Amino acid sequence: MIARWLVESMFLVTALMVLGGGVLAVSARKLVRAVFGLIICLIGVAGLYFQLGSPFMFAMQILIYVGAVCIIIVFAIMLADPGAMEDRFGSRGAPVAVALLSATCVFIVILNIFRRTVWLPAEIRSADTSLQTIGKRMLLDYGLVFELISLVLLVAIIGAIVLARGGRDTK
């Protein structure tokens, strides 16, 4: 009874971290606060991976997204020109409408994927977490996932280099 309550409360904590961090990331006026919200959200996603019984994906989420991508974003913010992020749009109506339309389309696609997925019970999935099994699954089952993660990391590094290339004015 207590174990089930503890598991459910831990899920609620991580779900609130994901939602709260996501809201902070998209609604913050200052870029550093938005990155902090992104870090909170990604740590919550890592917690969800851990609760789903995937400690390897938990570690990769922390190492790659929180430990590398977010730090590179902070590094790029520190090197960017402070006046470069002034309000360029004037009116915020058009970007908000595009963002809502994009979010609705993504939600519909994810909902369709969710409805068509055949979910396997936990007993059928492999519980073997040996190094040999993880290596085989990384190369065979999760190859596309790691290629996408490396692409995101590459884009973040290129973005940091482009921002750092301009440098700061020493006025």
Question: What is the per-residue pLDDT for 19?
Answer: 92
The number of angstroms, rounded, from the C-alpha of 43 to the middle of its chain's C-alpha atoms is 8
CATH class of the domain whose range is 1-81+128-171:
mainly alpha
pLDDT-derived band at 87 (thresholds 50, 70, 90) equals low
When mean pLDDT is compared across 14-23, 40-49, 67-76, 99-108, the lowest value belongs to 67-76
Question: What is the per-residue pLDDT for 55?
Answer: 83
Q: Are 11 and 26 in contact (CB under 8 A)?
A: no
| Percentage, residues of the chain above pLDDT 90 | 15
How many other C-beta atoms are found inside a 10 Å radius of the C-beta of residue 21? 20
Question: What is the per-residue pLDDT for 13?
Answer: 93
Residue 44 has pLDDT above 90, yes or no: yes
When mean pLDDT is compared across 61-65, 73-77, 160-164, the lowest value belongs to 160-164
Q: Are 25 and 42 in contact (CB under 8 A)?
A: no
Domain locations in the chain as residue ranges: 1-81+128-171
Q: What is the pLDDT of residues 129-171, one digit of tens each?
A: 777 877 777 777 777 777 777 777 777 777 767 766 665 555 4
Question: What is the per-residue pLDDT for 86?
Answer: 55
